[in-house]
Structure 1
Amino acid sequence: MCDLADSPAVRRLTDWDASTLESLAAEYETPLYVIDLDRVAENYARFSTAFPDAEVMYAAKAHTGKAVLETILETGGDIECAAWGELQRSIDAGADPNTLQYTAVNPPDHDLDYATDLATDHPGLTITIGAIDTLERLADRGYDGRIAIRVNPGIGTGHHEKVATGADAKFGIPYERVPDVADRVRDGFDLVGLHAHAGSGVLTDGIEEHCRAIERVGAMARRVGDLEFVDVGGGFGVPYREDEKPLDLERTAEMVRDAVGEIDATLKLEPGRYVVADAGVILTEVNTIKEAPDTTVVGVDASLATMIRPAMFGSYHPMLNVSVPEREPHPVTVGGPVCTSADVFAHDRPIARPEREDVIAIGNAGSYGYELASQFHSQPRPGEVALEDGGHRIVRRRETLDDVTRVEQ
């Protein structure tokens, strides 16, 4: 376990060493992802310490880079996966397949084939279902192993309507149907748990509503009975804006335990964003300065293909001119080279007045950053550098155009 004495609950962008980031940009070119593996370990350890009696699984979808998964495993953590590729990447990183949990959401045939084949030799694998169809398809494949039921609690929480999964019919078995589905599972499978995930990016102000969803899951667990675990998912947020306070983790842990109530089962949680968000930044170089009537446009080489969260969710990410952080701030609009008005990271954001070839850091890019990167406009995806033990190493090389076109016939 990491020593948390010097590990703050939140890492602001200004806490990163600007000169180190600028030197990494010079050495590896931009746009560039940087992930601090020591911070990943610290965040996971802090979360686990707050829930000492629970099993804390890292939600791989937040960042599936091999170096991150290896770091989680080295801290003693387990991994929750939402697709077959995440299962395989977790195994490649050293995970015991018997410890993995696969949360199937409308799974393609290939995913179920992979999972059931994997369970043949590794019966400890748990498959979470969110539809009766999935149960029938598992039975058709001869699977009779460990099953968890995903409960739809009817309450969605989080930073955006697109992540409020707890009230979305796409996710989980409708609440009142769960007991009947549990009976059906027990007829042909090993029912080991209930699972739910209310939403993502929840901070202290939203934790009460989040716990209302967890309360319903705890009540259903007592109603169904005889379970190995109750998994209340993740969704625990980090402050993206400079004036937002970090999650009061100790208070949150107390509220979650109270919400679940007395259960004769292990409590499971699946933090993803909390573990990796503030451990990552994007470095991007300024290439264009344009004075427009209503704003100063700053063009950079990162784009929505590098990180789509601002375009998809309207997300705020802190920004810092690491080349000259002491220069007088100036409100600017920062956008990339993609041909759409959605390709903007910030409007009228006060930043130390950028000039061409300055390097700007975009903070809190460790979660759902590289995971959602694309090759739009035939842009090769960026490289990624990991910081660890006072040094750094390349953990993902920058793609080339050959990588972009390699699959074409």
Structure 2
Amino acid sequence: MSHASPPVRRVTDWDFDQLSALAAEHDTPLYVVDLDRVAANYERFAAAFPDAHVMYAAKAHTGRAVLETLLDAGADIECAARGELQRAIGAGADPDTLQYTAVNPPDADLDYAAELGAEHPGLTVTGGARDTFDRLEARGYDGRVAIRINPGIGTGHHEKVATGKDAKFGIPYDEVVELADDLRERFDLVGLHAHMGSGVLHDDLDDHCRAIGKVADLAREVTAETGVDLEFVDFGGGFGVPYREDEEPLDVETVGEKVREAVGELDAQIKLEPGRYVVADAELILTEVNTVKETPEATVVGVDASLATLIRPAMFDSYHPIANVSAPDRELEPVSVGGPCCTSADVFCTDRPIARPEREDLLAIGNAGAYGYELANQFHSQPRPAEVAVEGDETRVVRRRESMDDVTRVEREAPSAEEGDRRR
């Protein structure tokens, strides 16, 4: 793999000979993650914000190899669930550096966070509902907290990720000062947090910065009205990468300047949480063609990957670039590529020009690092794929392929009816 660090890595920039060898050795469908690219993306982003505290948003990709790579690169980790806290700690993160952003947290998540905070007072819990803070207090937690704000401005690649204007996320803007005055008596109120959306590119940047400016204004108001000296203001992540071949990558240095201008003078540390930007173009999926069907409406290309492997096209109508690794120089032909699931949603593209696929060709589905394996599932009782990491000239399996035994284990290990009766 190339170790250069251009602003974007296209699917055609990968070493096709190496990809073919990996598919032959490890079978398909197969996730391939380039850990050098993960580190380079983080370092490029951090360099564009030299005065900010840059964390990695673990929800984009919680693979242990990815987390270890980012911890080695100097990143701290932001988590959105108990499992992410546990995985970050398992990868070597210091619990005192973690930030937990609780969204309608289940009891078990808050139990874990309260217990973790009692042992590690550096943990910060961010709440987006008054209930969350009341539930924390009921568990005896009185440590570091931040308030998640709903700025009323959402940005991003799809309405389902425009969190900045979704009532599910954060305290209404006009209620934050009053809540801050209350929380400062009950906890160690250290910060404010907002996340405007995901997949922000050039067209969304002005709205994104406008929302950042609103949050910064509110931070100054909180300090003026309550006397709380905020340690940080967290402006979230959401910075995108170009999935389509004709989209230009963000110039993160220019983005850094725009963000600093939007924030203005602020007597608090700026925090940022890139997730997608760090991992999206560092991973792809390899899949084999098993069917080519000519119909009056379309040429349908069937592959062994499916929406169980990558659900984003079905869930968000997301575009992922696709390349024919076996024969990149063949004539382009408009084809529809889909998997083996019994639903019309199991389609990766429709009438897209691709070097004409034939049975047993290897295709690469690019930009699969963000919310790819994280959303993989077992629909149709399909075992989840293996994941291979590339680092320098070395490759290693970092997630083995599931078997049918893995798929059915939780049923076979469930308590028998008699055991269930005894437990009741």
Instruction: Tell me which interval the TM-score lies in, with the shorter structure as reference length.
Output: over 0.9
**Partner Cα separation in structure 2 for residue 404 and residue 185 of structure 1:** 45
Which residue does 2:237 correspond to in 1? 234
Please state if 1:74 is matched with 2:77. no
- Aligned partners of 1:204 and 1:252 also within 8 Å: no
- Aligned: 1:166 with 2:164: yes
Paired residue for 2:91? 93
1:190 matched residue in structure 2:
188
The alpha-carbon deviation at position 10 of structure 1 amounts to 0.5
Given the alignment, which residue of 165, 173, 176 partners 1:178? 176
Matched, 1:388 2:391: yes
Alpha-carbon distance, 1:184 to partner: 1.0
1:74-114 per-residue CA deviation (whole Å, 9 max, x = no partner) reads: 00110000000000000000000000000000000000000
In the TM superposition, residue 294 of structure 1 has moved relative to its aligned partner by 1.3
Pick from 18, 21, 31: which aligns with 2:19?
Answer: 21
- Pair 1:45 & 2:43 matched: yes
How much has 1:243 moved relative to structure 2? 0.3
Q: Hey, what's the Cα distance between the residues in 2 that align with 1:252 and 1:203?
A: 10
Q: How does 1:170-319 map to 2 (within 5 A)?
A: 170-225=168-223, 226-319=229-322
The alpha-carbon deviation at position 204 of structure 1 amounts to 1.4
* Matched ranges for 1:3-152 at <5 A: 6-152=4-150
Deviation at 1:397, TM superposition (A): 0.1
Unaligned runs of 5+ in 1: none
- Distance (Å, rounded) in 2 between the aligned partners of 1:26 and 1:145: 52
Structure 2, unaligned stretches of length 5 or more? Answer: 224-228, 415-424
Q: Secondary structure at the match of 1:194?
A: strand
CA distance in 2, matches of 1:307, 1:104: 26
Is the Cα contact below 8 Å between 1:193 and 1:228 reproduced in 2? yes
Q: What corresponds to 2:420 in structure 1? A: none
Conservation of the 8 A alpha-carbon contact between 1:157 and 1:202: yes
Aligned counterpart for 1:361 among listed residues 364, 368, 373: 364
| One-letter code aligned to 1:390 | D
Letter of the 1:248 partner, please give it: D
Partner of 2:408: 405
Shift of 1:19: 1.1
Cα deviation 1:181-225 (Å, max 9, x = unaligned) = 101110110000000000000011210001111111000110112
Summarize deviations over 1:208-261 as a string: whole Å, max 9, x none.
Answer: 001111111000110112100000000000000000000111111111111111
Partners of 1:342 and 1:44 lie apart in 2 by 33
CA drift of 1:329 comes to 1.0
Output one character per residue of 1:346-382: Cα deviation in whole Å (capped at 9) or x when no partner: 0011111111110000000010000000000000000
Q: Distance in 1 between matches of 2:331 and 2:397?
A: 33
Q: Does the residue aligned with 2:78 lie in a helix, a strand or coil? A: strand
| SS class of match (1:307) | coil
CA distance in structure 2 between the partners assigned to 1:206 and 1:173 by the alignment: 23
Q: 3-state SS of the aligned residue for 2:89?
A: helix
Identity of aligned residues (%): 74
* TM-score using structure 2 length: 0.95
Shift of 1:296: 0.3
Q: Which amino acid aligns with 2:120?
A: H
- In the TM superposition, what is the alpha-carbon distance from 1:53 to its structure 2 partner? 0.5
